[in-house]
Amino acid sequence: MTFEEKKERVEGFRPIDDVFFEVLADDKEVCQEILRTILEDKALIVEEVIVQRSLKNIYGRSVRLDALCILGDGAKCNIEVQRAHSDDHLKRARYNAASIVTKSTEPGERFENVPRVIIVYISERDFLGYGRTIYHIDKVIRENGEPVDDGLQEVFVNTCIDDGTEIADLMRCFMQQEVHDPRFPKLSSRVYYLKEEEGGVAAMCEIMEKYMSEAKAAGIKEGKEVGMKEGKAAGIKEGKEVGMKEGKAAGIKEGKEVGMKEGKAAGIKEGKEVGMKEGKAAGIKEGKRQAICRMIKKEFDKQTILDLGYTEFEYEEAKESISASV
């Protein structure tokens, strides 16, 4: 990629854009100029700047700070640029402040040594809605209106309200692709360097590649998670269907086997019962026949035999069996 092509990649960025601000703020003189204007303190000193630093709280959740400035008096000031409209900006600022304090203190540290924290929150819109360029959020005693200083200072600035102040002019620069304002020489020079000079353009392209790689990795990770979740759901569904099908087949097979086994046992049992019943009947019949035969052979007359309870059919059948055996 040629130098001109690289310049085209970065020409559309503005200081309000997160990617551009990360590189822009990696210069303590630029941050010092911004903070001196917003905090209205021309003697303010920035000793060090840490850009896009990730801090983890005690529960492992990370917060990414745009530009954490260490001031000359030891205070820690985070400059946050935010273009999102849907975020809860007040809670985001409070969370960032809490993360800075937690990370800056050691276990057992005396509370008097907890550093002063300043949050400078720059947004595209006036989310508080009172038509002002800048808002200072202070703590006061409700009962008497007296201010309370607990070491936290929150300042919210927006780029959409122009109240004619120097702060509003600085915010206008944050919305421009090119900055040429003699009141903000460090900011103007830094923007020019990042967009026109080879070293600055290379730094911008490097950070863009970094963000693209992170976004790609996050997308792959999320895609894997979604794929695994959907695959698991599909597998469970398919497993249920296969299981039901195989279970049904196995159930039918087992049912047949059990049915045949039980049927055979029941058949044997029933056969025994029927056989015993039929055998008993045959035995009774045969016993009657033999009794009648004996009586006939002993010359009992027919009427006497019938009077004993035998039927005429049984008598004739016994008589025929005697004739057949002669």
Instruction: Annotate 6-49 with DSSP letters as a single string.
Output: HHHHHTT--TTSHHHHHHHTSSHHHHHHHHHHHTT-TT--EEEE
* Phi, psi for residue 122 in degrees, rounded to 5: -105, 120
Q: What is the pLDDT of residue 281?
A: 75
Question: With the C-alpha atoms ordered 58, 59, 60, 65, is the resulting torsion angle positive or negative?
Answer: negative
**How distant is the alpha carbon of residue 235 from its chain centre?**
19
Mean pLDDT for the chain overall: 84
Between 315 and 135, name the one with better pLDDT.
135
Average pLDDT for residues 103-115, to the nearest whole number? 85
Q: What is the pLDDT of residue 47?
A: 96
Q: What is the pLDDT of residue 195?
A: 94
Average pLDDT for residues 12-24, to the nearest whole number? 92
Asked whether the beta carbons of 141 and 150 are under 8 A apart, the reply is no
Which of 26-40, 69-83, 279-293, 312-326 bottoms out in mean pLDDT, i.e. has the lowest?
Answer: 279-293
Q: How far apart are CA 256 and CA 269, in angstroms?
A: 19
* CB-based contacts of 45, cutoff 8 Å, min separation 6: 32, 71, 72, 73
Q: What is the pLDDT of residue 301?
A: 65
Q: What is the pLDDT of residue 231?
A: 66
Which of 69-78, 156-165, 199-208 bottoms out in mean pLDDT, i.e. has the lowest?
Answer: 199-208
Question: With the C-alpha atoms ordered 131, 134, 139, 140, is the resulting torsion angle positive or negative?
Answer: negative
**Whether pLDDT at 54 is above 50:** no
Between 296 and 116, name the one with better pLDDT.
116
Asked whether the beta carbons of 149 and 116 are under 8 A apart, the reply is no
**Whether pLDDT at 58 is above 50:** no
* Phi, psi for residue 143 in degrees, rounded to 5: -70, -30
Q: What are the CA-CA distances from residue 126 to residues 131, 164, 188, 299 (Å)? A: 7, 16, 25, 134
Task: Classify residue 268 by its DSSP letter.
Answer: H
Q: What is the pLDDT of residue 250?
A: 65
- Categorize the per-residue pLDDT at 60 as very low, low, confident or very high, splitting at 50, 70 and 90: very low
At 319, list the tokens.
């008589």
Q: What is the pLDDT of residue 272?
A: 62
Nearest to 50, CA basis, from 38, 64, 67, 37: 67
* CB-based contacts of 213, cutoff 8 Å, min separation 6: none
Decide: pTM greater than 0.85. no
- Categorize the per-residue pLDDT at 251 as very low, low, confident or very high, splitting at 50, 70 and 90: low
Full DSSP string of 218-253 = HHHHHHHHHHHHHHHHHHHHHHHHHHHHHHHHHHHH
Q: Which long-range contacts (CB under 8 A, 24 or more apart) does 318-324 make?
A: 318/288, 318/289, 318/290, 318/292, 318/293, 319/292, 321/289, 321/293, 322/293, 322/296, 322/297
**Whether pLDDT at 168 is above 80:** yes
Helical segments of the chain, H only: 3-10, 18-24, 28-38, 89-104, 166-174, 185-196, 198-297, 302-307, 312-325
Average pLDDT for residues 172-186, to the nearest whole number? 96
- Categorize the per-residue pLDDT at 186 as very low, low, confident or very high, splitting at 50, 70 and 90: very high
Give the tens place of pLDDT for each residue, 299-318. 676 776 786 777 888 888 88
Nearest to 67, CA basis, from 96, 91, 42: 96
Q: How far apart are CA 59 and CA 53, in angstroms?
A: 17
Give the tens place of pLDDT for each residue, 258-268. 556 765 666 56
**Whether pLDDT at 191 is above 90:** yes
Average pLDDT for residues 230-249, to the nearest whole number? 70
Residue % of the chain over a pLDDT of 90 = 48
Most confident stretch, 52-66, 115-129, 212-226, 311-325: 115-129
**Whether pLDDT at 229 is above 90:** no
